[in-house]
């Protein structure tokens, strides 16, 4: 096998590994600093779809915050955690509204807006870009 062929195969393997790596995500799920909840990916998805509306075990209400649909963090979060595109989630919320079941999460324009909202609200959960300053909030580790 030629050196160029070996290099091409090695690059392909590395790209595939990076695409599957959880560290490759471009967002961080955050909660208020006083919140000690641990969650799975499915639980986070259920929270953002408002299937779970209270923190366990306290029973305190969960306040969900999204970023704008055009946000790269929201697009990646929707794809990875919700396993749906942003457009599919907007259609889901239209169905929820029209059926009288629920309303979509609060939407903030920037990472800084989401961070400020989560800092002020003990029951809040959101996500921000991976490089955001997380002072005053806690990153949620999930699988």
Domain assignment of residue 6, yes or no: no
CATH code: domain of residue 89: 3.40.190.10
Q: How many domains does the chain have?
A: 1
Domain assignment of residue 107, yes or no: yes
Read off the pLDDT band of 34 (50, 70, 90).
very high
Domain assignment of residue 9, yes or no: no
- Note the pTM of the prediction, 2 decimals: 0.82
Domain assignment of residue 16, yes or no: no
Domain assignment of residue 79, yes or no: yes
Domain assignment of residue 114, yes or no: yes
CA atoms of 13 and 126, how far apart (whole Å) = 33
pLDDT digits 0-9 by tens, 73-132:
999 999 999 999 999 999 999 999 999 999 999 999 999 999 999 999 999 999 999 999
Q: Are 43 and 83 a contacting pair, CB within 8 Å? A: no
Q: Can you give the residue range of the structural domain that contains 79?
A: 25-139
């Amino acid at each position: 096998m030629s050196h160029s062929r070996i290099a091409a195969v090695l690059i392909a393997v590395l790209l595939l590994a990076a695409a599957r790596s959880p560290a490759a995500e471009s967002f961080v799920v955050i909660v208020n600093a006083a919140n000690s909840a641990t969650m799975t990916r499915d639980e986070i998805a259920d929270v953002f779809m408002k299937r779970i509306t209270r923190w366990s075990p306290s029973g305190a209400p969960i306040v969900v915050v999204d970023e704008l649909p055009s946000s790269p963090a929201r697009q990646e979060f929707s794809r990875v955690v919700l396993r749906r595109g942003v457009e599919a989630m907007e259609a889901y919320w239209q169905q929820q509204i029209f059926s009288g079941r629920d309303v979509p999460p609060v939407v903030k324009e920037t990472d800084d807006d989401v961070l400020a909202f989560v800092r002020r609200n003990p029951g809040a959960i959101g996500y921000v870009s991976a490089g955001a300053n997380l002072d005053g909030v806690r990153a949620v580790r999930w699988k």
